[in-house]
Structure 1
Amino acid sequence: MSINLTSDQERLVETKLQFGEYRSTEEVLEIASQLLDEDDRLEAEWVEDVRAKIDAAIEASTHTPSVNGETFVNGILERFRQAN
């Protein structure tokens, strides 16, 4: 596989190597790859968490009486006023 880096990416890798933070370009790219995988995993976990919360809210809403929008917003505003 051949990888082409932008000049900014090359400078970043070179800077990391110059400061002795990493031993090789391969090590820098391995760390970057691990971080990308971790970011993808965390994002997937976040999406699943949000979906579970939405599902729970939908389920709870089936057991809660309806409130019109104005009443709902006024209730939130009142809680903010009381908190201050």
Structure 2
Amino acid sequence: MNIQLKPEHEQFIQSRIANGRYENADDVIALALKLLEEWEKGYQDWEEETRKKIAVGLDQIERGEVLDGEVVIARLEKKLRQARGSQE
């Protein structure tokens, strides 16, 4: 495979080689791709977990297990006041 890098990316790679962290451009790119793969896996896991939480929430709504918005806001405000009071 033959790719063309933007000048700033090429400069970034060259600076990593120059400071001795990597021996060549292949090492830099290999690590970058590994990190991208790990990030994407983490994102997929987060996305799956979020979908599950949304499904649970929707099921709770269908069963009527909900709180009034004003009640939620009042509880959050109370917690915020308590947190501020404990910091003083």
Mapped partners of 1:75, 1:32: distance in 2: 45
| Unaligned runs of at least 5 residues, structure 2 | none
Matching residue's letter, 2:56: A
Seq. identity, %:
25
User: Structure 1 residue runs of 4+, over 6 Å off?
Assistant: none
In structure 1, runs of 5+ residues without a counterpart are: none
CA RMSD of aligned residues (A): 1.8
Could you state the TM-score of these two structures normalised by the residue count of structure 1? 0.80
CA gap of 1:9–1:60, structure 2 versus 1, over 3 A, is: same
Matched with 2:60 is 60
Matched, 1:15 2:42: no
SS at 1:22's partner residue?
Answer: coil
Q: Offset at 1:63?
A: 4.9
The alignment status of 1:50 with 2:41, answered yes or no, reads: no
Q: 1:31 to 1:67 in 2, by over 3 A?
A: closer
What TM-score, normalized by structure 2, do the two folds share? 0.77
